[in-house]
């Protein structure tokens, strides 16, 4: 089997209320993807045991858990509570046959766990063999390097902070705990994403609005992609030694467009991005 295999998230091929899952799976296979992340809104799944049944049906072994992004008054920032809940989840996964793994991911707009290092601290404290990380280029760069509310789309000390963050990630993260990675970029906003911007939603973190409307596949500079995605991927793959699935994840307003061409076009774009990544990083 190839060391690196391309995957894509099902929602990247079109929103669920517009495009059927069966067709998106078929299109992904036709375009050459070897794996697919099945995305389902959390409110449709009320018990982890339902997820376990889905895992068995799909003959997979990994469930991704994004860090929570509910309003701060609806969450606790107590690390003991966060770790305790996730440890219980991991223990349930260990009882399954075969065992189920959980890939924990920081979101750049998460209420408490919004950086890779905070997510890594959670993983270390959960301390279970089936509980690891999903490292996402957008969510890494989108917090330490990028800021959609600024004129230039960057944080105050973007380049130096980013360089130091990636250096620490390479040094600190245990490769065995990186269960899979996601490679995705985002559009630089033509104007700051603040009140009055088309993507602005009152009460919603700007980075969340940015993520939902304006992600792009890696190397889509013609669509405004501007994050240091390749630098992150290179650090994870070459410096850390990661091997495994690389998911071309996307959220975008284009996914809500109607028409049979939408899943095919997104799959084509995803594979074009994958091909460039393979070439740039000399992947096998």
The domain locations on the chain are: 4-281
| Mean pLDDT along residues 230-252 | 95
Q: Which residue has the higher pLDDT, 205 or 21?
A: 205
Nearest Cα to Cα of residue 252 among 261, 239, 238, 262: 262
- Which of these, 181, 178, 155, lies nearest to 248 by C-alpha position? 181
Share of the chain above pLDDT 70, in %: 95
Beta bridge partners of 225: 187
CA gap 147, 150 in Å, rounded: 6
| Amino acid 41: pLDDT | 38
- Asked if residues 114 and 162 have their Cβ atoms less than 8 Å apart, the reply is no
- Does residue 76 register a pLDDT over 90? no
pLDDT tens per residue, range 122-158: 999 999 999 999 999 999 999 999 999 999 999 999 9
Percent of the chain with pLDDT over 90: 68
Over residues 202-231, the mean pLDDT reads 97
Higher pLDDT, 14 or 189: 189
Report the sign of the C-alpha dihedral through residues 9, 10, 16, 19, in that order.
positive
CA 155, CA 145: separation in Å to the nearest integer?
A: 6
Whether residue 46 is predicted with pLDDT greater than 60 in this model: the reply is no
* β-strand pairing of 131-136 with 178-182: parallel
Taking Cα atoms as reference points, which of 74, 265, 62, 51 lies closest to residue 181? 62
Topology (CATH) of 4-281: TIM Barrel (3.20.20)
Residue that the structure tokens 């992904």 belong to: 28
Q: Which has the minimum average pLDDT: 3-17, 96-110, 246-260?
A: 3-17
CA separation for the pair 177, 120 (Å, rounded): 9
Q: Is the dihedral of CA 152, 158, 159, 160 positive or negative?
A: positive
Cβ atoms of 270 and 12 within 8 Å: the answer is yes
- DSSP, res 111: S
DSSP state of 239: I
Residue 274 tokens read as 């994958």
pLDDT on residue 197: 98
Residue given tokens 């944080």 in the structure block = 155
Check pLDDT > 80 for residue 40. no
Mean pLDDT of 61-66: 94
Mean pLDDT across the chain: 91
Say what the pLDDT of residue 44 is: 40
- Of residues 250 and 17, more confidently modeled: 250
Q: What is the DSSP letter of 146?
A: B
Helix ranges restricted to H, the chain:
21-31, 48-58, 79-94, 116-126, 137-144, 158-172, 206-214, 229-234, 261-281
Question: Which residues have CB under 8 Å from 114's CB, separation 6+?
Answer: 67, 106, 107, 108, 143
Give pLDDT, residue 1: 56
Residue 75 per-residue DSSP state: S
Instruction: Please state, in angstroms and as integers, the Cα–Cα distance from residue 135 to each residue in 44, 152, 229, 248, following that order.
Output: 25, 25, 12, 12
Tell me the pLDDT band of 42, cut-offs 50, 70 and 90.
very low
């Amino acid at each position: 089997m190839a060391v690196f295999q391309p995957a894509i998230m099902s929602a990247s091929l079109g929103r669920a209320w517009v495009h059927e899952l069966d067709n998106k799976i078929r299109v992904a296979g036709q375009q050459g993807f070897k794996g697919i992340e099945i995305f389902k809104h959390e409110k449709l799944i009320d018990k982890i045991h339902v997820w376990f049944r889905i895992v068995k049906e799909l003959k997979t072994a990994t469930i991704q858990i994004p860090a929570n992004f509910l309003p701060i008054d609806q969450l606790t920032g107590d690390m003991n509570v966060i770790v305790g809940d996730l440890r219980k989840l991991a223990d349930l996964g260990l009882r399954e046959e075969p065992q189920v793994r959980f890939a924990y991911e920081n979101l750049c707009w998460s209420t408490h766990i919004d950086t890779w290092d905070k997510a890594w601290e959670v993983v270390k404290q959960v301390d279970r063999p089936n509980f690891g990380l999903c490292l996402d280029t957008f969510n890494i760069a989108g917090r330490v390097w990028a800021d959609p509310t600024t004129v230039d789309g960057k944080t105050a000390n973007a380049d130096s902070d980013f360089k130091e963050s990636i250096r620490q990630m390479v040094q600190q993260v245990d490769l065995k705990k990186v269960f899979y990675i996601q490679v995705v970029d985002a559009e630089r906003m033509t104007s700051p994403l603040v009140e009055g911007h088309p993507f602005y939603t009152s009460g919603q973190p700007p980075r969340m609005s940015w993520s939902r409307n304006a992600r792009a596949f890696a190397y889509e500079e013609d669509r405004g992609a501007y994050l240091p995605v390749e630098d992150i991927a290179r650090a994870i793959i070459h410096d850390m030694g990661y091997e495994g699935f690389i998911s071309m994840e996307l959220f975008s307003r284009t996914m809500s467009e109607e028409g049979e061409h939408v899943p095919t076009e997104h799959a084509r774009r995803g594979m074009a991005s994958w091909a460039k990544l393979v070439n740039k990083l000399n992947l096998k």
